[in-house]
A and B are shown apart, each in its own frame.
Chain A
Amino acid sequence: MEVKYQKSVGLTDTPLTYCPGCGHGIVHKLVAESLVELGLLDKAIAIASVGCSVFSYQFFNCDAQQAPHGRACAEATGIKRVLPNNIVFTYQGDGDLASIGIAETIHAANRGENITVIFINNAIYGMTGGQMAPTSLIGQKTTTSQDGRVQALHGSPIHISEMFATIEGVAYMERVSVYDPKHVIQAKKAIKKAFQYQEEKRGFTMVEVVSSCPVNWGMKPTDAMNWVKTNMIEEFPLGIFKDKGDQNA
């Protein structure tokens, strides 16, 4: 019988720890498939961050390091500088990357570190139980903004893709989502392109994935995906914010 679809060999057999309806599982699959299709899996080193994806070192079927909270891009830098011909990528959530790790991420980008960052933006701290994130939407209720995020108190949602597009060392910056099959396919293209650019040593590449957190948003999985589509995308518009490859072509 012809196999039409199977789990990527880029993932281990360890069962994922993610909740039903969470986007992490989808994005893990896309990362794994991209590495396999590009023939990069056996020279890849994944950096797991702190948050729901802390166990991603158990899921990606390649070498891995688990970084302290926010330090993934520093750790990736340390590896890539001594192993410039390997593929090094971080997998980070919005608390890890956009809050505690913003300095490490900006400076890795500014140095043009030849690494790939997969940034999952679901507008909340998932692992710790639903606290406000730097990307939480205005009015969004979280366990630490129980009456909703207020701009005057908490500031506005931080726009990582727009910010990083201004940094010279960034070779590729795209914001994608995974709320329906069409966007999953688009996300895969972006992730694959980022790894391709890294292999071509073009500089820092990041893909921001606007994703869901049904448990901490207090929604059914389908409602959560709809909320991504209707509310998140309005705040975080999708698209390519920087592509040095195209400019050079």
Chain B
Amino acid sequence: MAKILMKGNEAIALAAIKGGVDAFYGYPITPQNEVPEYLSKHLIANGKVFLQAESEVSAINMVYGAAGAGARVMTSSSSPGIALKQEGISYIAAAELPCVIVSVMRGGPGLGGIQPSQADYYQATRGGGNGDYQLICYAPESIQETIDTMKGAFDTADFYRNPVLVLVDGLIGQMMESVDFDRPVKQRILLEKSWATNGTKNHPGSRNIANSLHLDPVKLEEHNIHLQKKYKLIKQNETQVEMIHMDDPDYVIVAYGTMARICRSAISMLNEKGIKVGMIRPITIWPFPEQAFDQIPSTCKGILCCELSMGQMLDDVLIANNGRHKVGFFGRSGGMVPDPEEIVDAIVNFKDKVVK
């Protein structure tokens, strides 16, 4: 297929189909509505399942049921909707079921607004639901990268029996770009879902149960230790980062998603001014690419964390930096998207941006 011009949300939907989605359960919320709209037409037409649920709470529990039954299943939503799904996400992670969740972030807190934001980094990486669990969380910066991520997301979820969260902001959801749906995805060897609750006639002699309840604290701790082992493996194998202009930079920017796109422009402008700026661009925000920070030379004058939030990834930047360099922060929120010039100013006046 040649390159085509496509809107981000529709590209997410088509990439999900290319990735092998069997069923979608969701609930309307701006700015992600084109995802379910596209799927409502194309999934049902191809004999797959599309269902608009009565709420986000219901939608994620439909995902739980279908994932447990062995289907490749997804939902999509935006910030307040993802908040409502947290209970179900915790259960799905606890029961070790695979699914894909798309979050098209808007400004918060509360009902907030409908313009692009990155204020759900905590929600995505710190677990908005209860308990010690992690989602494999991708934060692509373009529609092309979102497509590539979505196409492989179901395989990744199945491989680890873990929910995958694809986190984009409203700008990626709403803009159009020229994209290619034929780029290769990482090949994984997937086992048959022998654990699926699809009736004992499909697995005689044993019962399959999808469950997160372990009243015996010994058993529950064992389950948590088991989950942590899996998360450690995911950290080792799935951490993704792009290192940009990291040869002897004066400053290093850390940014993801739409903010990383803006920072790319700012870095070019700064280079023209003779200021060498590199960028660490996390592609997975959980696992966070901590080891990338070991490549920052000691001569670097500072790290600037840039987000469309009031400072959330900043926590991970401070942990990864571990006191080695000065860390500054630049953020806009509420749906305000900065011009590259604002990033340029933040680097030029870095001393005013230092938080630690």
A78 to chain B, nearest CB (A): 3
- Contact, CB under 8 Å: A75 / B209: no
Given known pairs A57-B209, A77-B65, A78-B69, the reply for A65 and B197 (CB within 8 Å) is yes
Please report the total number of A residues contacting B with Cβ < 8 Å.
Answer: 34
Contact of B197 among A61, A64, A104, A107 (CB under 8 A): A64
Q: Please, could you name 12 A-B residue pairs with CB atoms under 8 Å apart, sorted by A?
A: A43-B201, A63-B200, A64-B197, A64-B210, A65-B65, A65-B95, A66-B211, A67-B65, A81-B49, A82-B49, A86-B199, A103-B55
Q: Mark A62-80, 1 if CB is under 8 A from B, else 0.
A: 1111111001001111111
* CB closest residue in chain A, given B25: A78
Q: Which residues of A contact B313 (CB under 8 A)?
A: none
B259 at the interface (CB under 8 A from A): no
CB distance B198 to A78 under 8 Å? no
Contact residues in B for A104 (Cβ distance below 8 Å)? 54, 57-58, 61
Distance in Å from the Cβ of A105 to the closest Cβ of chain B?
10
Q: Are A82 and B23 in contact (CB under 8 A)?
A: yes
Within the complex, the shortest CB–CB distance from B75 to chain A, in Å, comes to 10
**A83 nearest CB across to chain B (Å):** 5
Residues of B within 8 A of A79 (CB): 65-66, 68-69, 197
Residues on the A chain within 8 Å of B49, using CB:
81-82
Chain B nearest CB from A207 CB (Å) reads 21
* Top-8 shortest CB links A-B: A78-B65, A78-B62, A75-B65, A74-B61, A107-B54, A71-B61, A43-B199, A42-B201
The chain A residue with its CB closest to the CB of B87 is A68
Q: Who on chain A is nearest to B62 by CB? A: A78
Which residue of A is nearest B198, CB measured? A83
With a cutoff of 8 Å between Cβ atoms, the chain A residues found around residue B64 in the complex are: 65, 67-68, 71, 75, 78
Taking CB atoms, residues of chain A closer than 8 Å to B207 are 12, 61-64
* Residue contact A75 to B62, C-beta cutoff 8 Å: yes
Instruction: Give me 11 other A-B pairs in contact (C-beta within 8 A), A68-B61, A81-B23 excluded.
Output: A57-B209, A64-B210, A66-B210, A74-B53, A78-B25, A78-B62, A78-B73, A81-B49, A81-B51, A86-B69, A104-B58
A81 to B44, CA, bound (A): 12
Whether B58 pairs with A82 at a CB distance below 8 angstroms is no
Residue B153, interface by CB 8 Å: no
Smallest Cβ distance from B26 to chain A, in angstroms?
A: 12
Question: How far apart sit A76 and B69, CA to CA, in the bound complex (Å)?
Answer: 10
A81→B209 contact, CB < 8 A: no
CA distance A55 to B209 in the complex (A): 11
A225 within 8 A of B: no
A86 to B68, CA, bound (A): 14
Identify the interface centre among A44, A45, A65, A67: most chain B CB within 10 Å of its CB: A65
A66 contacts across to B, CB distance below 8 A:
95, 209-213
Chain A residue numbers with a CB within 8 Å of B25 are: 78
B residues 178-203 touching A (CB-CB < 8 Å): 197-201
| Known contacts A57-B211, A81-B23, A82-B49; is-contact A68 B62 (Cβ 8 Å) | no
- With A83-B69, A103-B54 already in contact, the answer to whether A78 and B61 are too (CB < 8 A) is yes
The answer to whether A71 and B58 have CB atoms under 8 Å apart is yes
Query: Chain B contacts of A83 at CB under 8 A?
Result: 69, 198-199
Contact with B along A30-70 (1 / 0, CB 8 A): 00000000000111110100000011010001111111100
Given A64-B209, A79-B68, A103-B54: A45 in contact with B199 (beta carbons within 8 A): yes
Q: How far is the CB of B130 from chain A (nearest CB, A)?
A: 11
Interface contact B88-A71, CB-CB below 8 Å: yes
B residues at A contact (CB < 8 Å): 22-23, 25, 49, 51, 53-55, 57-59, 61-71, 73, 87-88, 91, 95, 197-201, 204, 207-213
Q: Which residue of B lies closest to A103 (CB)?
A: B54
Complex contacts, A54 vs chain B, CB 8 Å = 213
Nearest chain B CB to A195's CB is how many angstroms away? 14
Known: A65-B68, A86-B198, A107-B54. A75 touches B208 (CB 8 A): no
Task: Please tell me if the beta carbons of B87 and A77 are within 8 angstroms of each other in the complex.
Answer: no
Contacts of A55 in B (CB 8 A): 213
Q: Evaluate whether A82 and B210 lie within 8 angstroms (CB atoms) in the complex, with A71-B58, A104-B58, A104-B61 already known.
A: no
Residue from B62, B199, B213 in contact with A63 in the complex, judged by beta carbons closer than 8 Å = B199
Which residues of chain A come closer than 8 Å to B71, judged between CB atoms? 82
A42 & B68 in contact (Cβ 8 Å cutoff): no
Q: Which of B51, B68, B199 contacts A44 (CB 8 A)?
A: B199
> Chain B nearest CB: distance from A66 CB in Å?
4
Residue of B nearest to A60 (CB): B207
Minimum CB–CB distance from B199 to chain A (whole Å) comes to: 4
A71: chain B residues at CB < 8 Å are 57-58, 61, 64, 88
Query: In the complex, A61→B64 CA distance in Å?
Result: 21
Shortest Cβ distance from B58 into A: residue: A74
Q: In whole angstroms, what is the CA distance A104 to B209 when docked?
A: 22
Please report the C-alpha to C-alpha distance between residue A65 and residue B53 in the assembled complex, in whole angstroms: 19
Whose C-beta in chain A lies nearest to the C-beta of B203? A63
Contacts of A77 in B (CB 8 A): 51, 53, 58, 62, 65
In angstroms, Cα B210 to Cα A79, docked, is: 12
Provide the residues of chain B in CB contact with A87, threshold 8 Å: 199
A64, B212: Cα distance in complex, Å: 12
| A86-B54 Cα distance, complex, nearest whole Å | 23
Taken together as a complex, chains A and B put the C-alpha atoms of A51 and B149 apart, in Å, by 40
Given known contacts A66-B212, A75-B62, A103-B58, A45 and B201 CB-to-CB distance under 8 angstroms: no
Please measure, in the bound complex, the distance between the C-alpha atom of A80 and the C-alpha atom of B197, giving whole angstroms: 11
| Residue of chain B at shortest CB distance from A44 | B199
